[in-house]
Amino acid sequence: MCLAVPGKIVSIADHDDPLLRTGKVSFGGILKEVSLAYVPNADVDDYVIVHVGFALNVIDADEAEQTLQLLKGFN
């Protein structure tokens, strides 16, 4: 089973090569550096779905918050 988790982009490090674009993404306060190569239009404060260090898709804030609340229920 694969799990992709929503996180909020808090900063972006642009690069000359768009495939090397990265961002700091917050997962409930835990910051991780994530590749943004697959979401070139993602911006700070956007929510993205992340799997194995790659942001795969931009999602709306309501969807992200709903998913995060569901994940908190598994504690």
Q: Are 23 and 7 in contact (CB under 8 A)?
A: no
Phi, psi of 63 (to 5 degrees): -65, -40
Residues in CB range of 1: below 8 A, 6 or more apart: none
Query: Which residue segment(s) compose the domain that 64 sits in?
Result: 5-72
Number of domains in the chain: 1
Residues 32, 16: Cα–Cα separation, whole Å: 21
pLDDT digits (tens, 9 = 90+) for 12-64: 998 899 899 999 999 989 999 999 999 999 999 999 999 999 999 999 999 88
Identify the pLDDT of residue 75: 62
CATH of the domain at 10: 2.30.30.140
pTM, 2 dp: 0.88
Quickly list DSSP for 35-53.
E-TT-TT--TT-EEEEETT
